[in-house]
């Protein structure tokens, strides 16, 4: 059955301005540059343009720059955050999406500067405050990173 037939029309592409409306992250921690497609309550396909100008490449590693695995997982989590915020209608509410757990992380290929890292994340389970996701990051057709993770929807800290 098509997405439209199920009443779940795809959204996208979304530029970085729309991404920043969904996420509190900003440079240098904003790791989603664009959303190619978002199907509410199902999945998201987003892009991280990996540039040699990223601060972490200065020390990871000199002479052999590789994007740290923890930042690859963070990029997947941020894509999941956009998916959750858009699916649950939370944009503009100030609600935050916090990591609770990360499971089964596997790094298959190094992520080097000059690539477009395609982030594909889908809901595994969705409740009002707790969501479980499966994520995969690709370099072209090659799987670079995969994991499952759980996140909590929380109120913003009181000021």
Under 8 Å between Cβ of 139 and 114: no
| Distance (Å, whole) CA 129 – CA 120 | 22
Closest C-alpha to 76, from 55, 54, 105, 53: 105
pLDDT in tens, 66-91: 999 999 999 999 999 999 999 998 88
> CA angle 89-93-96, nearest 5°?
90
pLDDT in tens, 27-45: 999 999 999 999 999 999 9
By annotation, the residues acting in catalysis are 60
pLDDT in tens, 136-148: 999 999 999 999 9
Dig out the tokens for 104 from the structure.
Answer: 């089964």
């Amino acid at each position: 059955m098509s997405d439209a037939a199920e009443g779940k029309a795809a959204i996208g592409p979304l530029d970085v301005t729309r991404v920043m409306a969904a996420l509190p992250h900003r440079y240098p921690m904003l790791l989603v540059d664009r959303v190619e497609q978002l199907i509410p309550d199902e999945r998201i396909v987003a892009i991280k343009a990996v540039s040699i100008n990223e601060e972490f490449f200065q020390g990871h590693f000199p002479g052999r720059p590789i994007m740290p695995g923890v930042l690859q997982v963070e990029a997947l989590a941020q894509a999941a955050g956009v998916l959750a915020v858009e699916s649950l209608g939370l944009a503009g509410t100030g609600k935050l999406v916090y990591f609770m757990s990360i499971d089964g992380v596997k790094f298959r290929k190094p992520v080097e500067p000059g690539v477009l890292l395609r982030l594909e994340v889908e809901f595994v389970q969705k409740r009002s405050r707790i969501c479980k996701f499966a994520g995969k990051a690709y370099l072209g057709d090659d799987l670079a990173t995969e994991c499952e993770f759980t996140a909590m929807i929380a109120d913003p800290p009181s000021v």
